[in-house]
Structure 1
Amino acid sequence: MQHVKESIEKELHKKPPDSIRGFQPVALIRESDMHIVHLEVLLLVPEEPGTMLSQVGDLDNRLKTLLDALRIPKEQEIPENDYPQEVEKPYFYCLLEDDALITSLSVFADRDLREQTDKDKSHTLAIIRIHLEKSITTLRTMTWTC
């Protein structure tokens, strides 16, 4: 991951990210780096197996919310009265520049066996494994060994 961080820092010095209502989002995985992403998602939910689709929010809505949260937000998705906090300055990091970089998605749902309070009944724990792959082999993306 160190090479990703170094690459991002070089890019930020060349061209700072566009500001969205005072926020300066930085994607860790960008189209310009010629990568595609495969995600494996484990959703741990408080419901019994087999009832997930009928209880608090169905699977496709949970996935859409999750995938949207991994990418740089669109301006209309940021609440009007929301401003960057100190921990978000100068940048805040997102996994993806665009969720279109996700080329495959595997989803598994299982019961969350941790002790639940009434407040936790609508919460879902997502464990995400990210597989990063070069989409095009060029001189820039090739691995060189000497």
Structure 2
Amino acid sequence: MEGGDFLELSGDARDENPLDNDYLSNKHHQGDWKFIPLVTKELELNCSIDVLFLRPDRPVDVVWGGDIDSRIKTLIDSLKVPDVNDGYNEIKPDSSDPRLFCLLEDDNLVTELRIRTDQLLEPLSSNEEKTGTFLVITVDISPYNATWSNVGFS
């Protein structure tokens, strides 16, 4: 290589780039859908999630307003690539772009989860239900093993 030349990947090395959208979408497709997760096992990343539940009623009522465990499980499931039996094979994308970006390849990549509850101080309109929830979600991503592929997450 001479000054100013750049290393160019060829063949399999280029096709298996864990940061490439095409590589990820081909690896995580269901029917016509192509899922592109940010946090993958291949990138060796930790994912920490902090959730603030805001509800119109008292913070202590969040637990009684519905099973908090199932709410958290539903939230985490919504952030990951769907399972094969979640029905995406039967649904066709509305647009010409079938890509859906997700936070997680798998929910076991969440290494830290913090849940807090508080009262939503905004008044409800007459047609809003008192069971509504407003979430503030903060995500921190960092490598657990530094590689050239995940150096941008350091």
* 4+ residue segments displaced more than 6 Å: none
Matched, 1:116 2:131: no
Q: Is the 8 A contact 1:21 1:75 kept in 2?
A: no
Relative contact order, CA 8 A, sep 6+: which one is greater?
1
Matched, 1:27 2:70: no
Matched, 1:37 2:47: yes
Q: Which has the higher helix share?
A: 1
Mapped to 2, the partners of 1:139 and 1:19 lie a distance apart of 26
- Which one of 49, 64, 75 corresponds to residue 66 of structure 1? 75
Normalising by the residue count of structure 2, what TM-score does the alignment of the two structures yield?
0.74
- Which one of 126, 137, 143 corresponds to residue 134 of structure 1? 143
Unaligned runs of 5+ in 1: 1-6
How does 1:37-116 map onto structure 2 within 5 Å?
37-55=47-65, 57-78=66-87, 82-86=91-95, 89-116=97-124
Unaligned runs of 5+ in 2: 1-17
Q: Is the 8 A contact 2:30 2:89 kept in 1?
A: no
Mapped to 2, the partners of 1:72 and 1:15 lie a distance apart of 11
Normalising by the residue count of structure 1, what TM-score does the alignment of the two structures yield?
0.77
Larger Rg: 2
Q: Kindly report the root-mean-square deviation, in angstroms, between the aligned alpha carbons of the 2 structures.
A: 2.7
Percent of paired sites with the same residue: 25
Q: Is the 8 A contact 2:25 2:99 kept in 1?
A: no
